[in-house]
Amino acid sequence: MAVLGLAASPAAQGQTISANEAKGIGISGQWRGSRGLVTKGPDGKVIFLYGEIQP
């Protein structure tokens, strides 16, 4: 039986982020959490509302 040494591994250290990066993460989270205004055209093509895009 193989035993993994996960419990013995050192704690992960995160990188620091700038205020601008934190703002971008927040905006991304809002975009991902929103429904967005997307519809399907008569031919099955995806249509985004003006200004709505997939990042």
- Domain residue spans of the chain: 30-54
For 13-51, give one letter per residue: b (16+ CB within 10 A) or e: eeeeeeeeeeeeeeeeeeeeeeeeeeeeeeeeeeeeeee
Label residue 55 by pLDDT band (50, 70, 90).
low
- pLDDT of 5-49, one tens digit each? 555 556 778 889 999 999 999 988 887 777 767 788 899 898 877
Q: What is the pTM of this model?
A: 0.42
